Amino acid sequence: MTVTTSLAQPTELTSIGTKDLFLETTGTGPDVVLVHGLGGATPFYDPLVTDLAGNFRFIRYDFNGHGRSPLSGELSIETLAEELAEVIRTQTTSSKAHVVGHSMGTLIVQQLAATHPELVDKIVLLGPVRAQPDQAKAATRARAALVREQGMSAVADAISCGATSDQAAGHNRLLRPLVRELLLGQDAEAYAQACEALAAATNPELSAITSPVLLITGDEDGVSPPSLNETIAGELKNAQRHTITDIGHWTLLEAPDFVADYLTTFLQDT
């Protein structure tokens, strides 16, 4: 196992089960595995890793077909959860970890926690989602068809502007360009398959999750509105939640200091 204590970039992919994934390990302390969302990649977590590498050992990876990980085999929430399970088994110091997910990544984390509770300590969900309603499923499948036909440039501007708040973008002029860059860096076919996996997702059983869970969203998050977070928290056995004002769906990139503070307090609380 290679441990990186700085933000130096790995030069090779890491074999995880039958897949080769881009994976970075940074910092010292309790293991925290970071799972990005649809259209994301490991740089999504740069603010967290930069601020907290002295407190935690972060393991972040590009899931199958995203970022710098090549597409291999079937894409579904279930297969991505098994991929995450293998990351925890092979890359952590004790085969158990805190797990953080964003957006679609929160579904992957929910599935993992419901089916492999022995691998999970505490959970942090950023902009958490559940299985999509029918109208959203249709829109997600239409997005898959659009990027297959026209490439990632067909959706990058709409997502980077529509899923972030104007106030957050005003405070950080690089916010929307960074989100756009993450989207444009995706392979169109792999992104389309991930869209189809999201549209086909069913709800992991929240009552089976025994780990403590922290939910964080923004009051302008149209994908993960505060009302949805309240519903999710109500179905979990041990949950707390925070709503950050004036941010949208790219939670960490829009409010890095708030997320870092909430996460640190939650994970270090005994």
Task: Give the span between the Cα atoms of 12 and 15, in whole angstroms.
Answer: 10
Q: What is the mean pLDDT of residues 159-169?
A: 98
Does position 162 have pLDDT exceeding 60, yes or no? yes
Give the model confidence (pLDDT) of 211-226 as tens digits.
999 999 999 999 999 9
The pLDDT score that the predictor gives to residue 10 is 75
| Whether 183 contacts 40, CB under 8 Å | no
- The whole-model pTM stands at 0.95
* Dihedral of the alpha carbons of 216, 220, 222, 226, in degrees to the nearest 10: 40
Cα-based distances in Å from 238 to 30, 70, 132, 215, 234: 21, 36, 24, 11, 9
Give the model confidence (pLDDT) of 30-84 as tens digits.
999 999 999 999 999 999 999 999 999 999 999 999 999 999 999 999 999 999 9
Token code pair at residue 156: 């990058």
Domains (range + CATH), the chain: 14-131+203-268 (3.40.50.1820)
